[in-house]
Amino acid sequence: MNETPLLPTELLEEMTWPEVEARIAGGWTTVVVAAGAIEQHGPHLPLLVDAARGDRLALEVARRLGKALVAPTIRVGCSDHHLDFPGTLSLRPDTFRAVCIDYAASLARHGFRTLCFVPSHGGNFAPLAGMLDALRDAAGPGCEVRAYTDLHGFVALWEKAVRETAPELAERVGGHADIAESSEMLCIRPELVRREDAVAGFVAPFDDAVADRIFRDGFRALTPNGVLGDARGMSRSIGERCIARAAEGVAAALVAQGS
Ligand SMILES: [Zn+2]
């Protein structure tokens, strides 16, 4: 599917400074920053899910945008609502904001002209939406900041992907450690998926009422095992479609912000 060779890379952190300089001079002035999490993902997935998915999503989005590099994923995000589960790390909103602002200032200084922030974790969407003015101030004139901030829209991309691949399993999309996210991990880090430990979580459409409850009361109050949805039936084919639909949807939204 992808013609892009492994090298030269799009990954900023794998490049040398002369390589970065040459890319920017050659018109590679867009950079994608994923904002992930290190947090519980039920009994069957490791804590790094949103960080690993962020790496992949940013790369897929960058390839669809064209002439775009990928900055290192912000691996820890705003996960207060998952802190009832052992192992979860969480940045305070002010810390997360400061990290994003410093990314923006650094990248803009080198000549990137379009900075695209892409959350791969639900708790980062609202904080990102709330810091856009500050990010634009940090980037300065001549550098545009875009962000994908539609959490429900993102879950809808997953629902669409699962419906296309396995319609009978579409109601197992719940938004967290569900069939979509678990299937993505079968494509990204299959050795870390404990398939035999997958069980149903709180199974319901991810709507405003569910979102309000998890951010107000915490995840554990709603779902004792930490899952929203159900991962059973996960497969690589579902995962590939979820990755593709998510990247297409996010890239299209970022392009639209520039017009
Ligand atoms: Zn996740």
Residues of the chain with CATH 3.40.50.10310: 12-150+246-257
Distance 28 CA to ligand 1 centre (A): 30
Give the integer Cα–Cα distance in Å for 217 and 200. 20
Measured in Å, residue 20 CA sits from the centre of ligand 1 at: 31
For the chain, the residue count is 259
The two tokens of residue 130 are 């709330």
CATH annotation of 12-150+246-257:
3.40.50.10310
At 35, which helix (H) or strand (E)?
strand 30-35
CB atoms < 10 A from the CB of 2, how many?
7
Query: Could you check whether the bond before residue 8 is cis, i.e. omega within 30 degrees of 0?
Result: yes
In order along its 259 residues, the chain shows pLDDT tens digits of 455 444 568 999 999 999 999 999 999 999 999 999 999 999 999 999 999 999 999 999 999 999 999 999 999 999 999 999 999 999 999 999 999 999 999 999 999 999 999 999 999 999 999 999 999 999 999 999 999 999 999 999 999 999 999 999 999 999 999 999 999 999 999 999 999 999 999 998 888 998 899 989 999 999 999 999 999 999 999 999 999 999 999 999 999 999 7
Q: What is the CA(176)–ligand 1 centre distance, in A?
A: 5
> CB of 161 within 8 A of CB of 15?
no
In whole angstroms, give the CA distance from residue 242 to residue 57: 10
Distance CA 12, CA 18 (A): 12
The pTM of the full predicted model, rounded to 2 decimals, is: 0.95
The conformational region for residue 86 under phi > 0 = left, psi -120 to 50 = alpha, else beta, is: beta
Whether 60 contacts 36, CB under 8 Å: no
Burial of 53 (0-12, 13-18, 19+ CB in 10 A): buried
Q: Is 62 exposed, middle or buried (0-12, 13-18, 19+ CB in 10 A)?
A: buried
Q: How far is ligand 1, taken at its centre, from the CA of residue 177, in Å?
A: 6
CA of 113 to the centre of ligand 1 (A): 29
Residue-wise DSSP of 72-136: PPB-----GGGTTSTT-----HHHHHHHHHHHHHHHHHTT--EEEEEESSGGGHHHHHHTHHHHH
Q: How far is the CA of 213 from the centre of ligand 1 (A)?
A: 17
Ligand 1 midpoint to CA 175 (Å): 8
Distance 21 CA to ligand 1 centre (A): 34
Place of tokens 């790094």: 48
